[in-house]
Amino acid sequence: MTKNCPRDDPVPLRELLQVYPVILSVSNYVVLAFLGIAVSALLPLFLAMPLHIGGLSLDPPSIGYIIGAEGAAAAIFQAFYFARIVNYFGERRIFIYAISLFIPIFLSFPLINATALRFGNQSGQVWFLIAILLAMLALMDMAYGMQHFRFF
């Protein structure tokens, strides 16, 4: 045993889970992962389902382009703006904002379907709403970069 380190053996998991910041960080990540996985599973289903049951009836190449555009937009946005936004607003605000984006993200699915039923699934209004959805998803992805910080 060294002078500076009172304990050389690893900390047991039970003892670690009694520390409030650890519990908070783990619970934040669990919620983020659950909601992120839900959106990732729902988006391709929504894009492929027929209009009359709540989807957009898009063909597989269009779905691939949309999901690819979301990934590219998120990567480009994070590469160029993530650090500036975090430095300006702070980690806690960015994380809370990114998590709160799940509300309009989930609400946008029925809105896009209703717009597609009214104007057609290839209308400009539908593609505009899809672009807004992709922008929200790119902004939401900032929460994944915040996981090593303490929030509350």
Q: Where are the domains of the chain?
A: 20-49+57-146
| 16: confidence class by pLDDT, cuts 50, 70, 90 | confident
| 46: confidence class by pLDDT, cuts 50, 70, 90 | very high
Q: Which residue has the higher pLDDT, 55 or 5?
A: 55
Q: Give CA torsion, residues 77, 82, 84, 88, to 10 deg.
A: 120
Q: Which residue, chain included where needed, has tokens 């900032």? A: 142
Residue 52 has a CB neighbour count (10 Å cut-off) of: 9
DSSP 11: P
Query: Span 117-131, mean pLDDT?
Result: 95
Instruction: Note the pTM of the prediction, 2 decimals.
Output: 0.82
Dihedral sign, Cα of residue 86, residue 90, residue 95, residue 101? negative
User: In whole angstroms, what is the distance from residue 133 CA to residue 152 CA?
Assistant: 28
Residue 58 has a CB neighbour count (10 Å cut-off) of: 22
Task: Tell me the two tokens of residue 7.
Answer: 């304990």
Determine the pLDDT at residue 62: 94
Query: Span 103-111, mean pLDDT?
Result: 97
